[in-house]
Amino acid sequence: MSNMWWMVLLLFGLAIALLLLSLRERRKSGLPDAQVIYADTDLWQRVPETLVDHRLGLVGKPDYVMRTGQGSLIPVEVKTGRTPDNPYDSHRLQLMAYGLLIHANYGQMPEYGLLHYSDKDFRVDFTPELERQLLNTLEEIRLIEKQNEAPTRSHNISTRCRSCGYRGICDQKME
């Protein structure tokens, strides 16, 4: 009988250790203390549907959407690679697009989103100025698409050139 108690104590200790490890990893992640309601991964749930805003012609899948205890929604975009001193404009615009998609699909406009890099997190406030910048960028993209020609680009990095979405029509591509 005493062997059984040792086993119970051992399992209880293991459960406590795993809980503490999980809490430590959660703190290190930089994610808010919130419930994950959307995750573009099949680790926790079936991969959810793509978010769509037909009015703006936007579609996308944020890495995570978190719901705080107060009910606020927060999109989180996880980035790999080198952590910049400040978030890239393209990352800020991507996060703003996710904010608008959340508004269209959940009926609630997030106040901000989070960019999570390997060793630093950035809070991006969803301001009217950032939204205007996104809408102007979307308009420019649509004009380029209507012209059916590639925009002038910097072609200093051959790997970027090889994976560019305009490669099929580009007359500036690197060989």
Q: Token match 């890495």: residue? A: 63
Residues 110 and 42 in one domain: yes
DSSP letters spanning 133-158: HHHHHHHHHHHHHHHTSPPP-----H
Clarify whether residues 41 and 121 are in a common domain. yes
Q: Is residue 159 part of a domain?
A: no
Domain membership flag for residue 107:
yes
Residue 86 sits in the same domain as residue 11: no
Number of other CB atoms surrounding residue 98 within 10 Å: 26
Partners of 73 in beta bridges? 67
Q: Tell me, yes or no, whether 62 lies in a domain.
A: yes
In tens, the pLDDT along 25-69 reads 556 555 667 777 777 766 555 667 899 999 999 999 999 999 998
Q: Which of 90, 105, 126 is the last residue of a domain?
A: 126
Q: Are residues 75 and 38 in the same domain?
A: yes
Residue 16 within a domain? yes
∠ CA 27-83-117, rounded to 5°: 35
**Domain match, 12 and 68 both:** no
146 pLDDT above the threshold of 90: no
Domain count, the chain: 2
In a domain, 42, yes or no: yes
Residues spanned by the domain of 86: 32-126
Residue 111 pLDDT > 90: yes
* Inside any domain, residue 36: yes
